[in-house]
């Protein structure tokens, strides 16, 4: 009887010690996440890329739309410089296309609130999330890195349609500015070309109801737009095509 009681007490002590160790590992994991992922908040999303693995698509998306935002500014400058007497930017389609870029922020709280358990392992911690997935925290060159499980990284694939649309918009703005400059097009011609290319993309993404005023530009199918721009791999390809189409040689 006494030996049985001793065994129970020993098991309780072991369980208590394990629970305390797990709690310490959980606290340490939260602290590491606050440090590593916190960079996203304090210094911007791309600044925290070195601290995150398994989210490559997320950072590709952010880089793309940083480029597209710069192109939007270049397009406005192009209009004001090339058509100074035409009142600047008044393209409804350009304003509507800003909706293709989603605001993305990763915060430590998004992860810390979902932690259910943590265990110390060699060179870091294995953190069990509320959906059973394991987030790995590992120390690399004195810096902590959060390694997303494959399924968690795969969730960013929901952004694929926006990414594809962003790639198309980038190509459209570059090509149409080149064309307007090289072929000396009017602002009305430039607006029509840009709008008839971007409108099918917006309608495919969001439906006709969101921007009824853009329906007038729906003269192309989105697949037609994709097919046209898929022929270009470089800006030189675009220039060569423009020269041929407008007989500029």
pLDDT for res 105: 76
Q: Inform me whether the pLDDT recorded for 207 exceeds 50.
A: yes
What's the average model confidence in pLDDT over 168-188? Answer: 96
pLDDT for res 16: 40
pLDDT band at 78 (very low <50, low <70, confident <90, very high): very high
Terminus-to-terminus CA distance in the chain, angstroms? 102
Q: How far apart are CA 199 and CA 97, in angstroms?
A: 9
Q: How far apart are CA 39 and CA 35, in angstroms?
A: 7
Find which of 59-73, 83-97, 98-112, 224-238 is predicted with most confidence, using mean pLDDT: 224-238
Phi-psi region of 121 (alpha: psi -120 to 50; beta: other; left: phi over 0): beta
Q: Inform me whether the pLDDT recorded for 36 exceeds 60.
A: yes
The residue with greater pLDDT, 102 or 226, is 226
pLDDT for res 142: 85
- Distance between alpha carbon 32 and the CA centroid of its chain, in Å? 24
pLDDT for res 153: 57
């Amino acid at each position: 009887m006494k030996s049985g009681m001793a065994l129970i007490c020993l098991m309780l002590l072991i369980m208590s010690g394990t629970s305390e160790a797990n709690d310490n590992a959980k606290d340490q994991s939260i602290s590491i996440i606050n440090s590593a992922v916190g960079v996203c908040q304090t210094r911007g999303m791309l600044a925290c890329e070195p601290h995150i693995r398994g989210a490559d698509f997320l950072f590709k998306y952010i880089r793309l739309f940083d480029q597209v935002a710069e192109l939007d500014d270049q397009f406005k400058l192009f209009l004001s410089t090339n058509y100074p007497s035409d009142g600047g930017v008044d393209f409804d389609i350009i304003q509507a296309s800003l909706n293709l870029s989603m605001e993305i922020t990763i915060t430590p709280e998004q992860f810390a609130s979902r932690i259910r358990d943590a265990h110390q392992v060699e060179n870091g911690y294995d953190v069990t999330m509320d959906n059973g997935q394991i987030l790995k925290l590992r120390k690399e060159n004195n810096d902590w890195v959060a390694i997303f499980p494959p399924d968690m990284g795969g969730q960013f694939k929901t952004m694929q349609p926006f990414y594809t649309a962003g790639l198309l918009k980038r190509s459209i703005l570059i090509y149409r500015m080149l064309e307007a400059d090289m072929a000396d097009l009017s602002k009305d011609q430039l607006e029509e070309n840009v709008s008839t290319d971007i409108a099918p993309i917006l309608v495919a993404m969001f439906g006709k109801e969101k921007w009824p005023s853009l329906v007038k530009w729906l003269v192309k199918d989105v697949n037609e737009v994709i097919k046209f721009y898929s022929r270009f791999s470089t800006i030189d390809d675009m220039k060569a095509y423009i020269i041929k189409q407008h007989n500029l040689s």
